[in-house]
Every structure is written in structure tokens, then in C-alpha cells.
Chain A
Amino acid sequence: MKKSVFLGAVAATGLVAGVASAGTLDDVKARDQLICGVNISLTGFGAPDANGNYQGFDVALCKALGAAILGDANKVKYVGTSGETRFTALASGEVDVLIRNSTWTFSRDTDLKFDFVAVNYYDGQGFMVKKELGVSSAKELDGATICIQTGTTTELNLADFFKANNMTYNPVTVLDDAEGQRQYVAGACDAYTTDASGLASIRATLPDRDNHIILPEIVSKEPLGPLVRHGDNNWGDIVRWTFYSLVAAEEYGITSANVEETASSTQNPEIKRLLGVEGDLGAMLGLDKDWAKRAIAATGNYGEIFEANIGAATPIGLARGLNAQWTQGGLLYAPPFR
């Protein structure tokens, strides 16, 4: 009897893993709703606001996708995921796309059977400490207790960094950002480590934000981007090119305010193709002509999304840095729309 219960449980696990199907676009259209996996508690990137509506940099891309595919940025259902549950949620088909500041790594792309379609934020891992600790460099953290979120690449980077610098540390592995923040504030750890953007976001929510500093060392490359299940290439193309349409829109000066006007007045063939005035790029994706126009109109181009959610004018106050257009010395470079 014990054996059959065991096998039943095994098989039940398999059932959950098996509901993913090939045609994600068809599923989304049939459902008339896009299901987007987002961060549950990272202010500025993905977190519910006071009314319970998800807001943030990653959430805006979900809205653009909803507008491009279904014609309405509100036809998106957000599923909050933790660092531990996110990949299972995507692999099992619980979400259509995961846009949750996830780092693009080799093994996630290959062994975990996902496809990272683009990088929407170039990030790196940093450390936040209290000013009173008197530390000005991560290399002075020998022997420190460090809070770290489980199920992330940061755990491995942390181990590598301390090893490379011949230092020791005590890891405190916390379940999610909120618990990590609580323990850091309570002083249960000397430093909190995660992506520098995440640190800026946490610092922005602290009541005494001036008492905390983010150390200058960036100890890793963390290209964060949206990802989809491996094997459904058409769906991956849709997510990739919707994102690049927002990047290209910033490059060409198309904003949510002037997108209609630009479409009717522009003489630039590339912009005409992008906005569906000329040619039919949308049909190649399985969408209609106006997909990119709707995506841009939903929440604005990449620059608008950045400034509205995490830019210098927000409490999070991140500079564009690596995330500026290639023409401005950054890494954002949309391939040609033709």
C-alpha cells in the first residue's frame, strides 16, 4: 500500500509538469488573457500597489505584451512568484511568460529547457550595508553574516566572490525578499546581497534610507530578461520582438503620446514597418499589423517605462547606465525591423 501511494504521488507530480502544450499563442488567444509570472515584492520591478494592482518595470512589459497580442493591456493576469517557485511555474505551464528579473545563465537556457528571449535590464550583484558598520568596500566584509535569497544565482556568485578574495562569511539563506529585508533591518545579518537594482528598490522602501549604503563592488554579471518555455519558438519571437519594439521606439523617438501621430506623418521606412503602416511584420508573428503600435501606446517606449518605474525621478532612483541606448553609450540595441 505504501508503495502504491508513493507511485501515485510521483505520477501526480508528473501530471502537473505535463500540462504545458505547444501552441502558447493559441492558448493565450483562446483564453483571451495573458498569464504573466512576475515578482511579488520588488518595488519598481514587480509588486502590487496600494490597490492590489501589479506595477513595475517588468509588469509594464507584460502590459505591452497583452496589448500587442490581445489588444488590451488589461487582459493580463499576474501570478506572483518567488525565487524558488518561478521556474517551476513556467515549466509547468502555470504562466505563459516569466518576466521576473531572472538572470540569463547557460544552464537555465539549456538544462532547464527555457529560452531567454532578450535582456530588459543589465544588472550586477551588489551589497547593501548599514552606514554605522563603517564598511566602504565589499572586500572588507571578511567574516560578515550575509543575508541571501534562496533559489537565485546570487548564492553561487557570493560563494565565488568570497572564495576568489580568500574571505569567509556566514550565509543566512532567506525564503524571499521581504524576509531578507526584515532580517537585514533587524540586524540579523551585516549585509544584504542581491542584484544592485533590487538593492536600490529595497533601499527606497526603508524609512531611514540614508543610513544604508550600496557598496561600489559589482561582483557579477546579471543580465535580467523575460523567458519562455523552450520549444515554442513562435511564442518566443513574439515576446522578443515586442520587447525590441519598445527599445526601437525609444531609439526613433516614438512615445506613447505621439505614436498615432508618428504613424500617420512619418517618412522613415523603418518606423513605417515597425508601426505597421508599410509591410506586414505582424503577420509574420501571427499577430495583426498594429501590434507594435499598441504595445508602445500601452505603457510607452523603453525609456518611458524605465523613468516611470525605476528612473532617477522615482524613489528607487536608478541611472540608465548600461541600460541606455547604444547611441548613448549603453547596451540596448534593437535589431532591424525588416
Chain B
Amino acid sequence: MTIASEQPQGSFRLSMLVYDTRFRSWTIQIVVLILVALACSWLIHNLVTNLAAKGKDIDFGFLWTRAGYDINQRLVAYTNDSTHARALLIGLLNTLLVASLGCLLATVIGVMVGILRLSSNWLIARLMTVYVEVFRNIPVLLWILLAFVILTEVTPPPNAFKVVEGKEPLAQMWLDGSVAVTNRGTNIPEPLFSRSLGNIDLGIFLVSVDLLAIIAVMVGSFLVNRRVIRSAATTQEATGIRPATWWKSALIWAVPVPVLLYVLGFHLAYPAFKGFNFTGGIQVLHSFTALLIALSIYTGAFIAEAVRAGVQAISPGQTEAAYALGLPAGRTMRLVVLPQALRVIIPPLISQYLNLTKNTSLAIAVSYMDLRGTLGGITLNQTGRELECMLLLMGIYLVISLIISSVMNIYNNAVRLKER
């Protein structure tokens, strides 16, 4: 006797789309897809008809018209005769500058604080706890404003540096007259080359050949140095004696770059007070400094927590084993704990980098001209192209964020636990 469990054969009925588990999941997915597509098309239709009703169109042609306004922090050449697209680029570079330096600084702060928070020194551990709790529980905008107000209110105005006959100036420059901190910015010396190699015009911006040459020489030094150390290691493996390499390394680093700098005629232009402001040198605006400091210490507090969680996720047995082998505490952390902890730390770190990058759009609060300030602020207002500017802004921030997360994901894959 057999019990036949026959598959239902043949005729396909419509009701099977709902009641048959083989088809149901497809049915649900297709229905949801249609609903999403309908909602999107309704929203786009609404947008297009409403724009048409107001006689407006979507046109990005304004990007190629004259901008007509000035920007105070320019990483590449820009005047008020440049186009709105150029102003967009200036804003984008300013955003990227503060975001990349902010991520770097926040990581340094976060890793240090995260590890110190686990310190056995009671005072240091508690101080770090206070730092983390204070900074991550107050909105970042307030930190930005606070940093900016402190920088602009407690520093002297530029004319306090003015030298009047027979009178001591009210404020002194630092570091042998090379750095001046005013209530507008920090004036630092500018590196110049009297026998410069000129610039290469890439179409969008100029690249200094001097800088390229210096980077090339430094990379060369690095490669040669690595080779020296490798050959020393080979000799050590073969003979058991490690030849002295320190003087070779010192020569490799200390000779080529200074020689190149001398050939190029390297010198520093010191800032000097003239007229209303300091001229010469580089002015680092307080809006930039305030934004960078506030974003770094704010995000650093979050990163510190991620680092602490990562370190605590590693079993204490690992540390004890390292101690048993005679490794000192610093090396135990660097060689045993941190490489494993990175696997836990990287994913939350990606979110923090994304947060910091997006938080740079608060820059207008302290008059820093980032992408939001140029494209989303002045250009938007002067051209009246709200929709186009907002679309561009959203698109650009999306692309930046996607790039950051994909790069970090590649790194994450490189350090993750390899299962063989």
C-alpha cells in the first residue's frame, strides 16, 4: 500500500497566486514593485505639471553663467567673473577639505580617547568618560558656534599688531614673528619657490610642478628606504647578523628632499600687517578652524566609543597570553588587540565618517563657504533655481557618501577575519 502524495498537477488557477506558497512571494514582490513605481511616477508627474503650471522648467544652463559673487576661501583660482559651476567646485573642495581633515583628526582623537578610557589610571579613564559624555550629548551645531565665538571673541583684531612709533603693539606675533592669530583667522607663513618649475594646467585647476617634484622625491626615498630594510632582513635571515641600517635611512631621508628644496629656492613668506589685514602668508580662516575642531571632537567622541567596544570585544585571554610571552602593554595593544578589534570598529567607523561629512553642511552657521554655502546658498538665491540646486546638492552629497562607504568597505574586507 502506498500513500501517494501527488504534486498538484496541470491546471493553474488564479487563486494559486495567493494561496500557493510557490507563487505567493512572487505575487507580493510584484505588487509592491508596481505600487512603488506608481508612487514614484505620480510624484514625478506632480512635479512636472506643477512646474509647468508656474511656467518654470528644469534647466541646468545657469551653471555656465557668470557667478558675480566672491568667496573668501579658494583652494583653486576663482574670481567673481567665474561661472556658477566654478563656484560649485570651490564649495565642493572646501567641503572635501574640512571633511577629510575632520575624519583624520576625529580618528586620531577617537582612537586615543577610546583606548585611554580603558586605562587602569582612574583619573585618565574618568576624564575620558567625561569628554565622551559631554561632547556626544550636545548638538554639534552648538559646538561649532561655541568654537567660532571663542576664536573670534578672545583673539585680538588685526590692527592690534600695528607697530606705532614709540609704542608697544597691543598684540605680539608668535614663533619669532611668523604666526599671527587675529579675530579673523590664523596667519601662517607661506612656502614659496624662487626658482619655481611652474604649473601644469589641468583645465580645471593648476598643479604645481614643485609640489609634484617634492612628492616624487619623497616616494622615491620611501621606496629606497624600504629596499634597504628588506635587504637587511634578508641578510639577517641568511647570516643571523643584522647590518646597521639607521645611518642609511637617515641619509636617504635627510639629503634628497632638502637638496631639492634648495635647488627650487625654497623660502617662507611671512605674514605682515598692512592696511586693514595681514598680507602675505596664508590665512586659515577661523570659520574653517572652528568647523574642523568642533566636528572632530564631536565625532571623535563617537569613534572613541566604537574603539572601546572593539577593544573590549577581544577576549582578555589574548592580552594575558601576550603578556605571558613577554610583550609590553603598548605592543600588546598594537600587535595583538587592535588588529583584531579593527574588525569590530570599522563598520561603526564608516557611519561616523559619513555623519561627519554630512555635518559639514552646517558650515554656513559660521560663514564657511562650503558646497551648501555656494551652490545651495548664494547660487540658489541669485539664480532662483531651487530645484536644480537642491538636486545637484543631493546628488553630490550622495556620491561623496557612497565613495566613502565603498572605500571603507574595501578596507573592511581587507581586515576582516579570513576563513580558510
Contacts and interface: CB of A to CB of B under 8 A. Distances in A.
Nearest to A21: B53
Contacts of A142: 275
Contacts of A9: 394
A151 B72 CA distance: 16
B369 A144 contact: no
B183 A170 contact: no
A113 B54 contact: yes
Contacts of A163: 80
Given A7-B43, A159-B68, A171-B72, A145 B54 contact: no
A171 B275 contact: no
B71 A107 contact: no
B47 A13 contact: yes
Interface stretch (A185-193, A246-254, A258-266): A185-193
Contact of B367 (A87, A151, A152, A183): A183
A108 B49 CA distance: 22
A283 interface: no
Contacts of B287: 172
Contact of B55 (A145, A188, A190, A230): A230
Nearest to B369: A173
Interface string A127-169: 0000001000000011111000011100110111001000001
Interface in A209-265: 230-231
B71 A14 contact: no
A31 B70 CA distance: 43
A160 B81 CA distance: 10
Contacts of B276: 133, 141, 143-145, 190
Given A107-B384, A143-B279, A151-B377, A11 B47 contact: yes
Contacts of A133: 159, 276
A88 interface: yes
Interface stretch (B245-253, B385-393, B409-417): B385-393
Given A169-B70, A190-B276, A231-B54, A151 B46 contact: no
A248 B378 CA distance: 38
* Most interface-central of A12, A143, A145 (chain B CB within 10 A): A145
Contacts of B80: 159, 163
Given A18-B46, A144-B277, A159-B68, A87 B381 contact: yes
A14 B152 contact: no
Contacts of B152: 183, 186-188
Interface in B41-97: 42-44, 46-51, 53-56, 68-72, 80
Contacts of A112: 384
A90 B367 CA distance: 25
Given A150-B377, A155-B69, A14 B277 contact: no
A11 B382 CA distance: 23
A53 interface: no
B153 interface: yes
B387 A17 contact: yes
B72 A172 contact: yes
A4 interface: yes
B40 interface: yes
A256 to B, nearest CB: 37
Contact of A11 (B43, B384, B398): B43
* Most interface-central of B71, B184, B383, B390 (chain A CB within 10 A): B184
A311 to B, nearest CB: 31
Contacts of B279: 143
Contacts of A11: 40, 42-44, 46-47
* Most interface-central of B49, B51, B72, B387 (chain A CB within 10 A): B72
Contacts of A305: none
Nearest to B276: A144
A175 B54 contact: no
A144 B159 CA distance: 12
Interface in B340-369: 364-365, 367, 369
B36 interface: yes
A113 B68 contact: no
* Most interface-central of B51, B69, B153 (chain A CB within 10 A): B69
B157 interface: yes
Contacts of B40: 4, 7-8, 11
Nearest to B153: A186
Contacts of B50: 14, 17-18
B373 interface: yes
A208 interface: no
Contacts of A231: 54-55
A10 B47 contact: yes
A187 B183 contact: yes
A159 B36 CA distance: 48
A336 B380 CA distance: 39
Interface string B276-309: 1101000000110000000000000000000000
18 contacts: A8-B40, A10-B394, A14-B46, A14-B48, A15-B43, A18-B53, A108-B384, A113-B384, A141-B276, A143-B274, A159-B69, A172-B184, A172-B367, A173-B71, A173-B364, A173-B373, A188-B184, A230-B55
Interface of A: 2, 4, 6-15, 17-18, 20, 83-84, 87-88, 91, 107-108, 111-113, 133, 141-145, 150-152, 155-156, 158-160, 163, 169-175, 179, 183, 186-190, 230-231
Given A159-B80, A188-B183, A189-B184, 5 more contacts: A7-B44, A17-B47, A18-B53, A87-B384, A133-B276
